[in-house]
Amino acid sequence: MSESFKAGSTVNVGPGLSVNVGPGPCAPAAAVSQQPVRIGSVDLPSPCAVAPMAGMTDSAFRRLVKRKGGCGLVVTEMVSSEGLVRGMDRTLEYAEYTEEERPIAIQIFGGDPEKMAEAARIVEQLGADIVDVNMGCPVPKIAKHNAGCSLMREPEHAASVVRAMTRSVRIPVTVKMRAGWNEQQINAPDLARRIQDAGAAAVAVHGRTAAQSYSGHSDWDLIARVADDLTIPVFGSGDCVEPEQIVERLRGSRVGGVLVGRGVLRNPWILAQAADLAAGRSVRPATLHERGEFLLEYIDLLVREGIDEAAGFRHKAGFSKPVGEGPEVWGPPSGGPMEPVGAGLYAPPNQNTPAARGRERWVINKIRALAAWYTRGFENGSRLRTAVNSCESIEALRDLIVEFFEMDARAGNGDERHAKITSAELRPLARTS
């Protein structure tokens, strides 16, 4: 392995972000007051939150980030309101969460006020703390259905969606938006006021337009103007890839909190490090071993998802009533032993092995997606990404991580938490994505 990973070296985990992998904490900065944030009736322990990122911020990842500290709120991957209302199994899986993740917001997208209100009621029945509306996704396949950022082009209609939702649920309704549709249509200040008047409990603004996608820079001056104009909390988002940047965004403005997306993918400790900086404490960078351990723990959580979980561990929605009568909290139907094969779906026990192969492929693909961000800036990071993309089994993936992050020393210390996965463990699982 490269000498750059030895103790005492520095690893760059993103543009401008270097992390020590050896002894010695970063010097403390001047303390910055981090005021608690209250969204409707929900108190957040920290003003920093994990932004929703499709395909990335699943329940397992959210739990691991929460365990590192400094996280006041997590938001699910965006969930289709249409899929929720119709009870589509893949959609329902996106809405799953565990108690460990609280406080949690389930983010939904759609453009029909009645459907969005009905989906919000399902989110409330699931026990989520907050229901969030996606008005920021610039992806064409979302925008073309009058959802995501395309709602910003029709401010009054967007407000009507929020109004229908706030009249239908008791939990707080929040909205995530962008600066506007394009440079000629920057209307976040106007839309934010309409959203507040419609009853929203908080707003998050990503300081780029839909046309920019993720190019250019996030306009934090615009975000500050929105915060100055509203009485509800305003979260800002964009370009926070260093803990110092998070703290700086909370200093000297009325911005109530920061949503961190890509920065968390590169460095899951970033929120804890920002909390330390804000409190004037020394920041302890993650060690090389800890970075490898994070990946192994993530694999374990993904592989064992749904296996030997206590009753009520995972909040799910499903259909145990006849289709058409509406979703309810997940639970097995009566009439004999059954095994879960998806959110709210059951089949006879001892499913065939293609389901197990599907789960293994799903886990490998999840690690490949995370590695594209997690290894950025590492010397030999491209080599690691190439190797991850070549892995065809969980065993090979685990061995690669142990080797790359120099974790062989633990083999002799009796640590069996990351034992090799067997086909017997995979057999009951039926992820096919």
CATH number at residue 74: 3.20.20.70
Return the top range by mean pLDDT from 144-153, 278-287, 292-301, 402-411: 292-301
DSSP 26: B
Residue 90 near residue 98 (C-beta atoms within 8 A)? no
Residue 431 lies in a domain: no
In percent, the amount of the chain with pLDDT more than 70 equals 77
Task: Choose among 14, 90, 81, 87: nearest CA to 55.
Answer: 90
Same domain, 57 and 37: yes
Residue 406: left (phi > 0), alpha (psi -120 to 50), or beta? left
Q: Where are the alpha helices (DSSP H) in 202-337?
A: 220-229, 243-250, 262-266, 270-278, 288-303
Instruction: Using pLDDT thresholds of 50, 70 and 90, give the confidence band for residue 95.
Output: very high
Task: Choose among 381, 369, 203: nearest CA to 299.
Answer: 369
- Decide: helix, strand or coil at residue 306: coil
- Decide: helix, strand or coil at residue 223: helix
Residue 333 near residue 339 (C-beta atoms within 8 A)? no
Domain count, the chain: 2
Please state the three-class secondary structure of 127-150 as a single string.
Answer: CCCEEEEEECCCCHHHHCCCCHHH
pLDDT of residue 355: 63
Catalytically active residues are: 137
Task: Choose among 217, 267, 284, 274: nearest CA to 17.
Answer: 267
**Mean pLDDT computed over 401-421:** 59
pLDDT of residue 49: 98
Structure tokens belonging to residue 262: 């890509």
Structure tokens belonging to residue 396: 């090979």
Instruction: Using pLDDT thresholds of 50, 70 and 90, give the confidence band for residue 125.
Output: very high
Q: Please give the C-alpha separations between residue 217 and each of 208, 236, 286, in angstroms, as whole numbers.
A: 7, 13, 27
pLDDT of residue 181: 95
Please state, in angstroms and rounded to a whole number, the distance separating the CA atoms of residues 200 and 40.
Answer: 9
Instruction: Using pLDDT thresholds of 50, 70 and 90, give the confidence band for residue 165.
Output: very high
Structure tokens belonging to residue 108: 């939904």
Structure tokens belonging to residue 313: 């561990």
Same domain, 274 and 139: yes
C-alpha Rg value of the chain to the nearest Å:
22
pLDDT at 16 over 70: no
pLDDT at 253 over 50: yes
**Mean pLDDT computed over 269-278:** 97
Same domain, 70 and 140: yes
Same domain, 225 and 99: yes
Same domain, 213 and 351: no
pLDDT of residue 178: 98
pLDDT of residue 336: 31
Residue 2 lies in a domain: no
Residue 27 lies in a domain: no
**Mean pLDDT computed over 239-256:** 93
Residue 194 near residue 158 (C-beta atoms within 8 A)? yes
Please state, in angstroms and rounded to a whole number, the distance separating the CA atoms of residues 192 and 232.
Answer: 10
- Decide: helix, strand or coil at residue 38: strand
Residue 218: left (phi > 0), alpha (psi -120 to 50), or beta? beta
Domain span at 85: 32-279
Residue 46 lies in a domain: yes
Same domain, 51 and 138: yes
Instruction: Using pLDDT thresholds of 50, 70 and 90, give the confidence band for residue 318.
Output: low
Same domain, 275 and 302: no
**Mean pLDDT computed over 399-416:** 68
Select the more confidently predicted residue: 415 or 388: 388
Last residue of a domain, one of 279, 303, 320: 279
pLDDT of residue 35: 67
The half-sphere exposure of 378 on its side-chain side, counting CA atoms within 13 A, is 25
Same domain, 118 and 264: yes
Last residue of a domain, one of 215, 244, 279: 279
Same domain, 275 and 345: no
Instruction: Using pLDDT thresholds of 50, 70 and 90, give the confidence band for residue 146.
Output: confident
> Mean pLDDT score of the chain, rounded to an integer?
82
Residue 113 lies in a domain: yes
pLDDT of residue 34: 59
Same domain, 49 and 146: yes
What is the longest distance spanned by two Cα atoms in the chain?
Answer: 64
pLDDT of residue 197: 98
Span of 88-97, 312-321, 414-423 with lowest mean pLDDT: 414-423
**Mean pLDDT computed over 121-125:** 97
∠ CA 110-345-432, rounded to 5°: 80
pLDDT of residue 3: 34
Structure tokens belonging to residue 16: 């401008």
pLDDT of residue 309: 87
Residue 3 lies in a domain: no
pLDDT of residue 306: 85
Same domain, 181 and 235: yes
Which residues on neighbouring strands pair with residue 206, listed in sequence order? 178, 237
Same domain, 47 and 162: yes
For residue 103, is the peptide bond before it cis, meaning its omega torsion is within 30 degrees of 0?
Answer: yes
Last residue of a domain, one of 254, 279, 304: 279
Q: What's the sign of the alpha-carbon dihedral 158, 161, 167, 171?
A: negative
Residue 23 lies in a domain: no
pLDDT at 31 over 70: no
Residue 5 lies in a domain: no
